[in-house]
Amino acid sequence: MASRSEAKARAFAKDNDAHVYYDSYQALAKDPKVDIVYVATPHVFHAEHTLLCLKQNKAVLCEKPIAMNVFQFKTMQEAAKSNNCFLMEGLWTNFMPHLQKVHELIQQNTYGHCLKMEADFSFKAEFDPYKRLFNKNLGGGALLDIGIYPVYLALKLLGLPQDIEASCEYSSTGVDASNQIEFKYANGASAQLSSSFLKTTASQAKVYFEEAVVEFGSRFHETDKFTIKTDTGTQSFDYNYPANGYQFEIEHVHRCLHRGLVQSPEMSLEASYQLISTLDEIRHKMGLQYKEDKPYKE
Ligand SMILES: NC(=O)c1ccc[n+]([C@@H]2O[C@H](COP(=O)([O-])OP(=O)(O)OC[C@H]3O[C@@H](n4cnc5c(N)ncnc54)[C@H](OP(=O)(O)O)[C@@H]3O)[C@@H](O)[C@H]2O)c1
């Protein structure tokens, strides 16, 4: 663990039973004994802190969103390539058993084509213009913080949309306090996606197939339960795993490093590219720009 403050790093290390800590991110990146760094600073620092580590030949697991925009992402991707280092976006929900199972059912075309999806992730956040969620200088806003989960669910299960519509309500700090997004697909399928800091909802997701409806429990991104309803009845799945679910992502990263991979086969840099490009396009439709953005290209 590393912090910009020695006292904070020491206290955090003590609380978490760690024997080693660093009083700067630079010191962490330089330590030859470190194999991999988990970058969990606010979004606007993901590119800077990932590059710091990659340049010291460290593998990096970077929190979501991997970057503020596609321009930053490309720099990170190039640095990973030129240093031959592992880089993966920490989109932990990708490794959850419920999502893996539904993805598998789609690959096997078990219930016919996917016709429609609905996914929402919302909670009432305390308004503080200085803290990360509403602070534009720290990359605040619902889309990049929690809207990324419904967006990723649609990309994972339905693929890249042909067309995107999006709108949002702005907070007084100039970030999206809530948003509504529609993905339209060439085959007629659609996805209704939303996220908000203004109200707490059940944060559920439903996927409608030709022959079944898959319903994820609340909250859909972290649930261990889902049901499949067909004409003949309802099948319930309950994975009932211990801890909060981060273990699936952590185990996957360990396996990648043991195999000497520089990319995850399950959360590839191409998947991250598609995700960040889609988020860029949604922001363009909502009219939301950050200081890190360059002019948007259609
Ligand atoms: N996977 C998940 O479930 C999940 C959940 C929450 C958040 N996240 C992601 O994790 C990232 C961090 O979120 P968070 O809520 O933990 O953020 P946060 O508490 O606001 O910041 C995390 C740490 O970043 C460090 N930091 C470095 N430079 C900073 C600066 N200039 N200003 C403020 N902090 C700075 C601070 O550590 P020091 O002061 O010790 O240096 C701070 O404690 C975000 O990108 C978010 O999307 C993921």
| CATH no. for 6-90 | 3.40.50.720
Q: How far is CA 66 from the centre of its chain?
A: 8
Percent of the chain with pLDDT over 70: 99
Measured in Å, residue 149 CA sits from the centre of ligand 1 at 18
Query: Phi then psi for 39, rounded to 5 degrees?
Result: -85, 115
Pocket test for ligand 1, best of 1, 3, 41, 175 (most atoms within 8 A of CB): 41
pLDDT interval class at 298 (50, 70, 90): low
Measured in Å, residue 39 CA sits from the centre of ligand 1 at 9
Determine if ligand 1 sits within 6 Å of the CB of residue 43.
Answer: yes
Give the fold, CATH level 3, of 97-244: Dihydrodipicolinate Reductase; domain 2 (3.30.360)
CA distance 134 to 170: 10
User: Which of 265, 248, 271, 264 minimizes the C-alpha distance to 59?
Assistant: 264
Joined together, the tokens standing for residue 281 give 């396009």
Render pLDDT for 145-186 as a digit per residue (tens, 0 to 9).
Answer: 999 999 999 999 999 999 999 999 999 999 999 999 999 999
Determine if ligand 1 sits within 6 Å of the CB of residue 4.
Answer: yes
User: Which of 260, 2, 282, 266 minimizes the C-alpha distance to 144?
Assistant: 282
Determine if ligand 1 sits within 6 Å of the CB of residue 64.
Answer: yes
Question: What's the full length of the chain, in residues?
Answer: 298
Ranges for all domains in the chain classified under CATH 3.30.360.10: 97-244
Render pLDDT for 62-82 as a digit per residue (tens, 0 to 9).
Answer: 999 999 999 999 999 999 999
Inter-CA distances, 166 with 50, 88, 191, 225, Å? 30, 27, 12, 29
Q: Whose CA is nearest to atom 18 of ligand 1?
A: 42
Question: Among the atoms of ligand 1, which is closest to the Cα of residue 144?
Answer: 47
Measured in Å, residue 46 CA sits from the centre of ligand 1 at 10
Q: How far is CA 192 from the centre of its chain?
A: 18
Measured in Å, residue 131 CA sits from the centre of ligand 1 at 10
Question: Among the atoms of ligand 1, which is closest to the Cα of residue 91?
Answer: 1
Determine if ligand 1 sits within 6 Å of the CB of residue 3.
Answer: yes
pTM (2 decimals)?
A: 0.97
Render pLDDT for 100-133 as a digit per residue (tens, 0 to 9).
Answer: 999 999 999 999 999 999 999 999 999 999 999 9
Determine if ligand 1 sits within 6 Å of the CB of residue 178.
Answer: no
CA distance 197 to 179: 9
Measured in Å, residue 143 CA sits from the centre of ligand 1 at 16
Ranges for all domains in the chain classified under CATH 3.40.50.720: 6-90
